[in-house]
């Protein structure tokens, strides 16, 4: 290959570029990014950066003096991929043609229908989002977080530490039941009530109300209750950024459908990061892994497949892993809770929020959850990887 184009300049795209050079690729390398910023770390956006404990320089992902020998085209997004020539059209009118393409366009925050886009209503996905939210949190007052997932929970935890009055609204009967299952989702989300943060589960949101100047003043629930709010954060998930591939012929589902090594249905194109749905043999289905570790590790596998044309054969991806810091508690999870028929507390006590729990299907471990149990979690994560490899 003489030219490779990486579409996406966040962690997954940067990891792919690094893997290309590490695996001996010395041709032309072009990196396109929809944001004007150089690659930055996203996990601190809901924690240290939002709390004012880390500045923008601390978010930088590139090492001092790092030079990938790449052409960076930032502040412009991809709008189309020609499958015949592997030419990518950009929003600014330019076209980049390459022998190989790495799709790493990530995901965008979902917006809540009926929620006014006026002042004080935020999503949190990008650095610019975090800048705006941090400025509003500095005003103090009442924060309503719509969505009890991990991003919403981290924002709630950060805002609580900043002294705001916080309410979390979750449509499901139990927060975090999707990724963790109902029982352990209830244990982890109990951190909110432990710290005086209100958690309202089993109720939807109709929309938001504004004051006379267009700033948010309330969240209107599905049952017509109104929650006073000075700031609102909408954390109801993310959609993969794949619309620009609509006419490329690449198979799309909930993300770009890939094999176990990141190869798409179009030769010479691989996908990584939040937009990529890799096939999981254990589950017999495609899944997107929207976690930092996946964006760091999987690009090396995909790049290897791209450079070799898939000669290395299909691989079994490592079980997904993520962590979250809330109210001073480190939460770690590996594997998939879906399909588990038992959950057993192996260490600690749920009521103490100090616990290690193992999920099993047919007696075989498929996932592990740790709360403030880093050493034992690491041991179980290794066992889990051995079982699924």
Residue among 368, 325, 322, 323 at smallest CA distance from 348: 368
Please give the average per-residue pLDDT across 252-274, as a whole number: 97
CA distance 192 to 176: 12
CB atoms within 10 A of CB 251: 14
In this prediction, residue 314 carries a pLDDT of 62
pLDDT over 70 for what percent of the chain? 97
Give the mean pLDDT of 183-211: 94
What confidence tens digit (pLDDT) does each residue in 27-37 have? 999 999 999 99
Q: What is the pLDDT of residue 109?
A: 93
What pLDDT is attached to residue 293? 93
Write out pLDDT tens, residues 93-113. Answer: 999 999 999 999 999 999 887
| pLDDT average, residue stretch 125-131 | 96
* Average pLDDT, integer, range 318-347: 93
195 burial level (CB within 10 Å; 0-12, 13-18, 19+) = middle
Q: Which residues pair with 168 in a beta bridge?
A: 145, 199
pLDDT per residue as tens digits for the range 47-88? 999 999 999 999 999 999 899 999 999 999 999 999 999 999
pLDDT at 280: 87
**Per-residue model confidence (pLDDT) at position 283:** 79
pTM for this structure? 0.93
From its phi and psi, is residue 296 left (phi > 0), alpha (psi between -120 and 50) or beta? Answer: alpha
Within 10 A of 213 (CB to CB), how many other CB atoms are there? 8
In this prediction, residue 318 carries a pLDDT of 80
User: Among candidates 50, 72, 257, 278, which has minimal Cα distance to 158?
Assistant: 50
Across all residues in the chain, what is the average pLDDT? 94
Beta-bridged to residue 70, according to DSSP, are 29
Residue 315's pLDDT band (boundaries 50, 70, 90)?
A: low
How confident is the model at residue 117, as a pLDDT? Answer: 57
Q: Bridge partners of 33? A: 74
Q: Is the pLDDT of residue 291 over 80?
A: yes
According to the model, what pLDDT value does residue 214 have?
Answer: 83
pLDDT digit string, tens, across residues 209-260: 888 888 999 999 999 999 999 999 999 999 999 999 999 999 999 999 999 9
Percent of the chain with pLDDT over 90: 88
* Element containing residue 214 per DSSP (H, E): none
> How is residue 149 annotated by DSSP?
S
* Averaged pLDDT, 317-334: 92
């Amino acid at each position: 290959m003489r030219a490779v184009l990486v579409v996406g300049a966040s962690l997954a795209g940067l990891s792919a570029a690094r893997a290309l050079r590490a695996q001996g690729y010395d041709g032309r390398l072009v990196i396109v990014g929809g944001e004007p910023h150089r690659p930055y770390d996203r996990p601190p956006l809901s924690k240290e950066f939002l709390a004012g404990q880390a500045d923008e320089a601390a978010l930088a992902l590139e090492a001092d003096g790092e030079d990938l020998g790449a052409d960076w085209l930032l502040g412009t997004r991809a709008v189309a991929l020609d499958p015949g020539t592997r030419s990518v059209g950009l929003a600014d009118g330019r076209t980049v043609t390459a022998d190989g393409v790495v799709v790493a366009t990530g995901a965008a925050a979902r917006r809540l229908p009926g929620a006014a886009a006026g002042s004080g209503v935020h999503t949190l996905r990008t650095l610019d989002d975090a800048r705006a939210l941090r400025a509003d949190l500095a005003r103090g007052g009442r924060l309503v977080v719509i969505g009890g997932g991990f991003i919403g929970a981290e924002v709630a935890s950060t805002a609580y530490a900043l002294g705001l009055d916080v309410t979390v609204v979750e449509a499901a009967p139990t927060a975090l039941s999707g990724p963790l299952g109902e029982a352990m989702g209830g244990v982890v989300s109990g951190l909110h009530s432990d710290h005086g943060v209100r958690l309202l589960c089993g109720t939807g949101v109709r929309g938001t109300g504004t004051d006379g100047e267009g700033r948010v003043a309330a969240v209107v629930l599905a049952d017509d209750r109104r929650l006073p709010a000075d700031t609102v954060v909408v954390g109801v998930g993310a959609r993969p950024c794949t619309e620009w591939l609509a006419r490329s012929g690449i198979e799309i589902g909930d993300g770009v459908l890939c094999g176990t090594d990141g190869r798409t249905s179009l030769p010479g194109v691989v996908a990584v990061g939040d937009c990529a749905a890799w096939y999981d043999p254990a589950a017999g289905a495609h899944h997107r892994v929207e976690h930092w570790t996946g964006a760091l590790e999987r690009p090396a596998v995909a790049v290897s497949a791209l450079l070799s044309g898939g000669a290395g054969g299909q691989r079994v991806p490592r079980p997904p892993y993520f962590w979250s810091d809330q109210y001073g508690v480190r939460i770690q999870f590996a594997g998939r809770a879906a399909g588990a028929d038992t959950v057993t507390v192996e260490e600690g006590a749920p009521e103490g929020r100090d616990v290690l729990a193992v999920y099993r299907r047919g007696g075989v471990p498929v996932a592990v959850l740790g709360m403030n149990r880093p050493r034992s979690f690491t041991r179980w994560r290794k066992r889990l990887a051995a079982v699924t490899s």
